Amino acid sequence: MIRVLLVEDSITQREILRRLLNDDGEFSVIAEARNGREAVEQVAQCRPDVVLMDIHMPDMNGVDATREIMRRFPVPIVIASATLKKREMDLGLEALKAGAVSVIAKPEGAALLHLQKIAPQLREELLSASKAKIRRLATPPSPPARPPVRPALRTGDIRIIGICVSTGGPPLLLEVFSAVPKPYPLPVLLVQHISFGFEEGFARWLGAATGQPVAMATDGQNLEPGVRIGPGGRHLALASRTRLELQPRKSDDVHCPSGDPLFESLGKHFGANAAGIVLTGMGDDGARGLLALKQAGGITIVQDEASSLIWGMPKAAKQSNAARHELSPEQIARVLTEAAESKFHSHDPTSS
């Protein structure tokens, strides 16, 4: 049984969530808290396997509680946000930055029917979070005295980059995109598994936090430098060397957007001039597409196990023999930096 601490100031919603989790058979709600301050105390006393925490609470909100828990008693935390309004989304994303594993949208209102709608996603998020490797949140490390070791790969050939990431992605992307040239001069196509409705808030947050040009991808738009994020319910891919397309979801798709169609399209249209990167996350999304990109001559990279919050997606790609390189976030940032520097000495990445 996965031992859950339930943190929610609404008595009604707490009762409903407790019932949903206890009836599942996989979880056991071992303690409850009405606010962030109580949550910190309960984590210290009960040491749960995972915390499900509301974002808006009296006395101490979910962001501050997450920050305090990660500083003192690191444990996987899933944040539940009641609305998708800008302020609430930004708080949820700040909770990810503070160390939360994921954030989900909780329907407004206390009706049982509404909360039951998120039961499958809630179950998946809690299961995923319970498997995460959690480290104590410390002050940001000072820059290394020496730059990370340069990976032996042909960064000068890179004209476009595709990235697929899931659980643990937002703070990792914040780290990587903050460390590369601004504005980034190459097109970066990003598939981030995140709760439906959070994509635009995530794009806004990532751009503001990193200083990079970040925006949602749109169907048919021209391929341009900067980061473009795939929207929920559509697959981000290339229609040609100069144009994006958003492909419809198929009935058997586990993830949408998915890294597989993205990487496959990079291989088709750019081949050896494309780089594909699979980062932390549960499952195997991106492995098939990364192999196709490798077979097309592209540069394929997975995040190393030591730095991955969940080494599921990178592991699957590695086991599929899809990865040419296994790198740390610092090394990945170095690769992206060298590719950007090489861009100024080569032709336009969108030329045919």
What residues contact residue 122 under an 8 Å CB cut-off, 6+ apart? 20, 52, 78, 80, 104
Nearest residue to 172 via CA among 215, 125, 206, 132:
206
Say which of 193, 235, 255, 269 is annotated catalytic. 193
285 tagged catalytic? yes
Scan for tokens 């981000």, then name that residue: 236
DSSP single-letter state for residue 243: B
Say which of 157, 285, 307, 308 is annotated catalytic. 285
DSSP codes, 262-328: HHHHHHHHTGGGEEEEE-SBSS-TTHHHHHHHHHTT-EEEEE-GGG-SSBSHHHHHHHTT--SEEE-
Per-residue tokens: 115: 């909360």
Say which of 81, 166, 195, 265 is annotated catalytic. 166
Q: Edge-to-edge strand order for the sheet containing 187-192?
A: 214-216, 226-229, 187-192, 160-165, 274-278, 299-303, 325-327
Q: List residues with catalytic annotation.
A: 166, 193, 285
